[in-house]
């Protein structure tokens, strides 16, 4: 690309780093205070005892596990965009890839907090780490919770590295454009990157390997999270379909989260020239496809339960379709399936605004879906004498709200300190297409003919 446009690209995408308005500080202060409140609430819960939550007998898992599955699900956005689209050489992924990977990394960090928050004795969570110790006991590798620990550790490590490695050349760019303390810090972060062909080649090879490696890991992570449920003999949990169902749901909610993040960045960082409506339309088509897939899974599961007529499962099915959970269930169906399919299948409605509306609906719907998997089944197990109900208490609501604030806060801070669009990858996308000698001579000679 021409030098002028390359410079403009760098200027536009570095502007958020170099210029700060009062709105940034206000936003950080607001979000930070909510996050602080969440942390204090958690400390309060640990001090007063886990009884401060709404958990009871038999509903021993509720909001925190719902949040855990929800956030791990959101984290599948990055893998889909960065890894899968990279492997199929989809050029339109270039402006979107870092936005998506950031969502993955932060959603994983937030999601990984919840298995600790929901413990009765959270200060002992490190007992899941297999290291030689004086307790003479190892973790139980047969437990899906231990599988969770390994899966999330692997996925988090892989995702963070996948995010950080292509940031190195961009840190070099910022190093070269700044002076003073910024120059020193970004210089350190750039690790002395020069941009020799050897370095570029190694970086791109490493990214290809990581892309191939991270996809099966992502699939396995949400499958293992689904195993937390399907390994227990609880009505409507013990389903063989949970693995693929959860992975599809994760990708679904991940794309929705990505669309919202991209729309926000485009508006607040003035990235209209780099995030085009076609990007949103492509993601909107993916969201439509995932909505249909989600609908298919839900239909298949419920038809099987209804047709099979096993009394314990029918009790759970009934309580979600027509009983006390019916309002939540039908809301979920509307915002997860009816509204997204309606908006996204009509090209005129598949605008940026339309995609964002559909995505907000999907986020609400997917949170409800997780909740409706966890709580109704636990409340209606095999012995009706022990059936129960659940109502969330303030600690759970506050901690849940603070995780959403934490995600926004981390994202805002990231966009302030790192270019949110991968500058060098975008430049590669703008390069002249690679022609072979034959193609070039055909083009040149073809043009020369009158």
**What letters, b where the CB count within 10 A reaches 16 and e where it falls short, cover 61-84?**
bbbbbbbbbbbbbbbbbbbbbbbb
Q: Are the beta carbons of 9 and 17 closer than 8 angstroms?
A: no
**DSSP 8-state assignment for residue 135:** T
Question: How many DSSP H helices and E strands does the chain contain?
Answer: 19, 0
State in angstroms the smallest separation of the CB of 178 from another protein. Answer: 10
Q: Please say which residue, 84 or 293, places its beta carbon nearer to another protein.
A: 84
State in angstroms the smallest separation of the CB of 324 from another protein. Answer: 15
State in angstroms the smallest separation of the CB of 211 from another protein. Answer: 11
State in angstroms the smallest separation of the CB of 419 from another protein. Answer: 12
Extract the tokens encoding 422.
């991968």
State in angstroms the smallest separation of the CB of 406 from another protein. Answer: 23
Angle at 33 between CA 32 and CA 35, to 5 degrees: 65
DSSP states along 4-22? HHHHHHHHHHHHHHH---H
State in angstroms the smallest separation of the CB of 385 from another protein. Answer: 4
State in angstroms the smallest separation of the CB of 302 from another protein. Answer: 21
**DSSP 8-state assignment for residue 434:** P
Q: Please say which residue, 196 or 240, places its beta carbon nearer to another protein.
A: 196
CA dist list (Å): 240 to 31, 166, 310, 367: 40, 38, 16, 22
State in angstroms the smallest separation of the CB of 234 from another protein. Answer: 6
HSE-CB for 152 with a 13 A CA cutoff: 27
Q: How far apart are CA 91 and CA 356, in angstroms?
A: 22
Q: Please say which residue, 22 or 126, places its beta carbon nearer to another protein.
A: 126
- The conformational region for residue 195 under phi > 0 = left, psi -120 to 50 = alpha, else beta, is left
Q: How far apart are CA 39 and CA 35, in angstroms?
A: 6
Q: Please say which residue, 106 or 114, places its beta carbon nearer to another protein.
A: 114
Extract the tokens encoding 101.
């990977």
Q: Please say which residue, 141 or 307, places its beta carbon nearer to another protein.
A: 141
Q: Are the beta carbons of 158 and 107 closer than 8 angstroms?
A: no
State in angstroms the smallest separation of the CB of 267 from another protein. Answer: 28
State in angstroms the smallest separation of the CB of 356 from another protein. Answer: 32
Picking from 142, 138, 151, the residue whose alpha carbon sits closest to that of residue 108 is 151
Q: How far apart are CA 6 and CA 246, in angstroms?
A: 42
Q: Please say which residue, 216 or 450, places its beta carbon nearer to another protein.
A: 216
Phi, psi (degrees; rounded to nearest 5) at 188: -65, -40
Q: Please say which residue, 291 or 320, places its beta carbon nearer to another protein.
A: 320
Q: Please say which residue, 48 or 241, places its beta carbon nearer to another protein.
A: 48
Q: Please say which residue, 22 or 57, places its beta carbon nearer to another protein.
A: 57
Q: Please say which residue, 286 or 399, places its beta carbon nearer to another protein.
A: 399
Picking from 374, 397, 392, 395, the residue whose alpha carbon sits closest to that of residue 54 is 392
Picking from 84, 1, 108, the residue whose alpha carbon sits closest to that of residue 282 is 84
């Amino acid at each position: 690309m021409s030098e002028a446009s390359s410079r403009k690209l760098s200027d536009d995408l570095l502007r958020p780093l170099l210029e700060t308005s009062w709105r940034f500080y206000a936003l950080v202060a607001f979000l930070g205070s909510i996050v602080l409140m969440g942390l204090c609430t958690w400390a309060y819960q640990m001090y007063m005892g886990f009884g401060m939550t709404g958990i009871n007998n038999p509903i021993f898992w509720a909001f925190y596990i719902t949040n855990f599955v929800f956030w791990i699900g959101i984290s599948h956005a990055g893998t889909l965009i960065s890894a899968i689209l990279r492997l199929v050489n989809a050029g339109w992924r270039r402006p979107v890839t870092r936005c998506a990977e950031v969502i993955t990394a932060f959603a994983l960090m937030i999601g990984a907090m919840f298995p600790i928050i929901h413990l009765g004795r959270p200060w002992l969570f490190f007992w899941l780490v297999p290291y030689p110790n004086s307790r003479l006991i190892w973790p139980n590798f047969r437990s899906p919770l231990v599988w969770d620990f390994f899966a999330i550790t692997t996925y988090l490590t892989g995702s963070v590295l996948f995010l950080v490695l292509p940031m190195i050349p961009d840190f070099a760019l910022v190093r070269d454009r700044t002076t003073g303390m910024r120059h020193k810090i970004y210089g350190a972060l750039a690790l002395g990157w020069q941009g020799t062909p050897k370095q570029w080649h190694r970086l791109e090879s490493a990214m290809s390997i990581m892309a191939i490696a991270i996809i099966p890991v992502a699939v396995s992570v949400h499958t293992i999270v689904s195993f937390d449920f399907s390994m227990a003999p609880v009505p409507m949990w013990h389903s063989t379909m949970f693995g693929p169902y959860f992975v599809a749901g994760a990708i679904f909610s991940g794309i929705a989260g990505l669309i919202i993040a991209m729309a926000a960045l485009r508006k607040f960082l003035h990235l209209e020239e780099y995030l085009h409506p076609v990007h949103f339309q492509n993601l909107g088509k993916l969201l439509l496809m995932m909505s249909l897939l989600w609908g298919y899974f839900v239909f298949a599961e419920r038809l099987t339960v209804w047709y099979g007529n096993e009394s314990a499962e029918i009790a759970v099915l009934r309580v979600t379709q027509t009983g006390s959970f019916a309002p939540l269930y039908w809301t979920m169906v509307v915002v997860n399936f009816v509204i997204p399919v309606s908006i996204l299948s009509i090209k005129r409605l598949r605008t940026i605004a339309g995609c964002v509306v559909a995505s907000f609906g999907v986020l609400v719907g997917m949170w409800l879906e997780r909740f409706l998997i966890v709580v109704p089944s636990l409340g209606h197990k095999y012995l009706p004498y022990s059936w129960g109900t659940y109502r969330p208490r303030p600690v759970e609501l506050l901690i849940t709200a603070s995780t959403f604030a934490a995600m926004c806060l981390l994202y805002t801070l990231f966009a302030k300190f790192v270019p949110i669009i991968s500058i060098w990858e975008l430049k590669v996308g703008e390069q002249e297409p690679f022609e072979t000698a034959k193609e070039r001579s055909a083009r040149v000679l073809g043009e020369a003919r009158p």
